[in-house]
Amino acid sequence: MEAVRSVLGWECVDCQSVLIFFFVFLLVADVLKNRAPANFPPGPWALPFLGDLLRVSPTRFHLQIPEVLQKIWKDFSLRLFGGRIVFVYDYELVREVLIQKGEDYEDRPTIPLFSALAGNNGLLLSNGHPWKQQRRFAIRTLRNFGVGKMSLEPSIQQESHYLSEAFSLHKGNPFNAQSLINNAVSNIICCLVFGDRFEYDDKQHQDILQTFNELVYLEGGIWAHLYNTLPGLMKRLPGPHQRIFTLTQDLLDYIQSKINEHRESFDPSSPRDYIDCFLTEMGENEDKDSGFDLNNLCFCTLDLFGAGTETTTTTLHWGLLFMINYPHIQEEVQAEIDAVVGSSKQPSVTDRENMPYTDAVIHEVQRMANILPLNLVRMTNKETTLDKYTFPKGTMVLPTLISALRDESIWETPHTFNPQHFLDQDGTFRKREAFLPFSAGKRVCLGEQLARAELFLFFTTLLQRFSFAAPPGVQPTLEYKLGATHCPKPYSLCAVPR
């Protein structure tokens, strides 16, 4: 009996020793893997395995960065997104990363969540030869269908009219305008990608928009951060992060159904939209590494649909909220619309040059809305330098857009909604170098021209027909929620016909 106890005792001791050794091994491996290279931006001491996850508040992450940098320097590092990432919070350094040394920072890092979702597919997060081929093809195709040209303007004007009619149905009573704006903006990119628009009461399209909105919010939440920190563990555990995969697959299934419809009816000699052009390119392109396959078509279409819907919708939603909060600015915009456009003619992009104040207000909405405050993360494709630091190849770098849009040395009142930022002493519109809501350089938003036209036409059409105010007894606020984008908390408004 004593012999049995002795053996069992040794087995327990051996088991404990193995566990302790295994834990110490993992701890040392984690420290060695994530130690900062020589001459690297400073950062706080990080926890093993979790890194700096516990320092991050998902609801105010974009505000924490400037708070930290005020205490440290223009750039610093944290252990997030599965590795050590450098945050750049200085306009001149951001400009150096995006433009002056843009080729050094044109890659995207392999972030565990997005790598599991899409791999090296799509337009936003892919790298190398496939990304260059797909971006070049998307820009050329969208331009052929009118992006950046006057030929697309009638479609945006027509959708602006439909949106105004939908607003008028509420007869000045309170309602949440987000879903209507989402429908209208989505229809523009849907015409370019799918070849058709959707009625605002189309149930399937409503479900798709709701799915995408939920996905955007979850991708910026704590569960997404947890997945990126501990991917090996989190992919096996239940939780809200698993819904990210479900929602993404729902969107891909929807896009696949649209692709199948196109394959049954498309004529290569007469392409109707982006999907038709991609299908044609698949049959003609002999470069097997260029990404022209059905799987990548799904992801590229998802990127175009999502980016072409979310950003402009959120900006317009902020725009109406700012008009509610600053009624005197709303009145000045309406006075300029009345003087230049009148009440019977629909606004046109050509009117913009004669409407400097309205143009300035729209730019200030974009600056203050700050819908992508931290930008999308970059990665160095070779060893490079920034400021006084050296970044090895493969370093994750986040050139924050909020640092350009709120730089206290550039903007006269950086934290206040002030259209005068974009007007000179004579009231003429002036461009500002630090105005970078679309980012810049190699990865600049490929839909910038489309977004600018949409913002002007939707905004001016709505302000031409309605005056906006908070519901009676409600005090308007500028509260926000932070997911993958910085957007207003749900609010109701009254659109009173003028």
Strand partners, 27: none
10 found inside a domain: no
9 found inside a domain: no
Q: What angle do CA 336, 368, 423 make, to 5 degrees?
A: 40
Domain range holding 396? Answer: 16-497
7 found inside a domain: no
Query: What size, in residues, is the chain?
Result: 498
Structure tokens at 144: 């052929």
pLDDT at 268: 86
The Cα–Cα gap between 396 and 469 comes to 44
Contacts of residue 20, defined as CB under 8 A and 6 or more positions apart, other chains included, come to: none
Query: What are the start-end ranges of the E strands in 3-132?
Result: 75-80, 83-88
Q: What is the 3-state secondary structure (H, E, C) of 4-38?
A: HHHHHHHHHHHHHHHHHHHHHHHHHHHHHHHCCCC
Per-residue pLDDT of the chain (498 residues; tens, 9 = 90+): 555 455 445 555 567 776 676 556 555 555 556 666 777 777 666 656 565 565 666 666 656 666 655 555 555 667 666 678 888 888 898 999 999 999 999 999 988 999 999 999 999 999 999 999 999 999 999 999 888 777 889 999 999 999 999 999 999 999 999 999 999 999 999 999 999 999 999 999 999 999 999 998 888 888 888 888 888 888 999 988 999 999 999 999 999 999 999 999 888 889 999 999 999 999 888 788 899 999 999 999 999 998 889 999 999 999 999 999 999 999 999 999 999 999 889 999 999 999 999 999 999 999 999 898 878 889 999 999 988 888 989 988 988 888 899 988 899 999 999 999 999 999 999 999 999 999 999 899 999 999 999 999 999 999 999 999 999 999 888 988 877 788 999 999 999 999
11 found inside a domain: no
pLDDT at 341: 96
pTM: 0.89
Q: In sequence order, which ranges of 145-239 are alpha helices (DSSP H)?
A: 153-168, 178-193, 203-219, 222-229, 231-234
* Rg of the chain (C-alpha set): 25
Token look-up 């500002």 returns 432
Q: Is 341 helix (H, G, I), strand (E, B) or coil?
A: coil
3 found inside a domain: no
Task: Please state the domain count of the chain.
Answer: 1
Q: What is the DSSP letter of 81?
A: T
Q: Residue 318 carries which side chain, given as an amino acid letter? A: W
240 found inside a domain: yes
CB atoms within 10 A of CB 59: 15
332 found inside a domain: yes
pLDDT at 223: 86
Token look-up 């708070």 returns 67
For the chain, the first-to-last Cα distance in angstroms comes to 96
CATH at residue 210: 1.10.630.10
216 found inside a domain: yes
pLDDT at 120: 93
pLDDT at 85: 82
pLDDT at 288: 84
Q: Residue 43 carries which side chain, given as an amino acid letter? A: G
